[in-house]
Amino acid sequence: MIALAPLVSVQDLVKHFPAGRALWGLGRPRPAVRAVSHVSFDIAPGQTLGLVGESGCGKTTLGRTILRLIEPDAGRVIVDGADVFALKPPELRALRRRMQVVFQDPYGSLNPRMSVRQTLAEPLVIHRLANGTEREQRIFALLDEVGLDRRLAGSYPHELSGGQRQRVGIARALSVEPKFLVLDEAVSALDVSVQAQVLNLLADLQQRRRLTYLFIAHDLAVVRQIADHVTVMYLGKIVELAPAAELYRGPRHPYTTSLLSAVPVPDPNAQRQRLVLAGDVPSPAHPPSGCAFHPRCPHPKKNERCRTEEPALREIAPGQLAACHFAEEPMQ
C-alpha cells in the first residue's frame, strides 16, 4: 500500500504570547505564555487527527495558528502544497477556500443579525462562487446536506436549537468546498444525543466529500468515535501521537493513561483503576524544568532525570510516539 502525501503538514510550530509588564508598565517584563512549543505532525487526505488535552494546553491556539487566524512566531504549515505563512493576502484569501473552521460556540460564531440564508450566502458572495438563482439553490443544497429543513433559511440564530446552529456553522464551512476543516470543540457545547448526531454527520460528510479533519476536543470518548490518529498535548507540547487504535489499546505516556482512566464506561461492574493527577496544570508562562508533566506524574519510576532532563518525542512502537523517559515501562 502506497502512503499518501500529507494534505496538512505542521512543522516545528511555535506561538508564544508576550505578557507585557506589571501594572502601569512598571517592573520587570513578565515571561511570555508558551501556548504552542515546537509542534509537528502530518494529516493524510481524508483522515482525521484528534487533538486532545486539558483546557489551557494550547489546542485552540494551535488550530487557529494553522489557519493563520493567529500569526506564528516560528515554524511552517503546508496545506495542500501551499506554505500558509509565506502567502501574501490575495494568495491567502484564495487558500481560505480550501481550509475552514467550525467553532465551539454555535451561538457566538453566528451573526445574530443575519438569517441562515444570509449566513450561507456571505462566503458565496465573498469568493464569487454563485449569484442569483444559483446561489439560492446552493444554499438549499447545503441545508439538505447538513440535515436542516429548507424552511429554516429565513430563521435567525436565536430561533434555532444548539444542534441546528452548529449544523449551520458546518454548512457555512462547507459552502466554499474546502478540503481541510479545523473542528474546534465542535460538539462539546451540545447535548450527548445531539453530539452523536453531529459526529455521524461529520463522518458522512468526510466520506462523501473526502474531507480532512483536525478534530480538537478534551473528551477522549468523543475523539475515539471519529479519529484515525490521536495527538495528546500538555502545556503547549505534544506528549503522545499514535494511531487511534494503538493509543486506546496501550497508551505510552502517563498523561494519556490518566486521561483514558477518566473516560466513563457504561458497565457499572467494570473493574478500572482511576489515575487521579495531583496538583493543577502549571502555568505556560512558568513551565517546570525537565519534563513539564513531572510535578503531576503518577509513574512509579519518576526520578531526578524527569525533573532536570526534558524527554524527546520519540518512536516507542511503529507509528506511536511519546515524550516520556519511561515510555517502555508499565505504570504498575
pLDDT digits (tens, 9 = 90+) for 304-325: 999 999 999 999 989 999 999 9
Residue 239 CA to residue 231 CA, distance in Å, equals 8
Is residue 240's pLDDT more than 80?
yes
Q: With contact defined as beta carbons under 8 Å apart, do 13 and 65 qualify?
A: yes
Q: What pLDDT, on the 0 to 100 scale, is given for residue 36? A: 95
Residue 22: pLDDT band by 50, 70, 90 thresholds? low
Query: For residue 212, is pLDDT > 90?
Result: yes
pTM of structure: 0.91
Q: Is 185 left (phi over 0), alpha (psi -120 to 50) or beta?
A: left
Average pLDDT (170-177) is: 96
Mean pLDDT across the chain, nearest whole number? 90
Q: Is the pLDDT of residue 23 over 60?
A: no
Domain residue limits, the chain:
8-98+178-322
Is-contact 120 168, C-beta < 8 A?
A: yes
Average pLDDT of the residues in 163-185: 96
What is the structure's pLDDT at 1?
41
Percent of the chain with pLDDT over 70: 92
**Mean pLDDT of all residues in 250-263:** 89
Q: At what angle do helices 132-145 and 116-126 cross, to 10 degrees?
A: 120
Looking at residue 96, what is its pLDDT? 92
User: Which position has the higher pLDDT, 3 or 144?
Assistant: 144
CATH of domain 8-98+178-322: 3.40.50.300
- Of 167, 170, 182, 157, nearest to 107 by C-alpha is 157
- Give 261-298 pLDDT, tens digit per residue: 877 766 666 666 667 777 778 888 888 999 999 999 88
Dump pLDDT digits (tens) for 196-210.
999 999 999 999 999
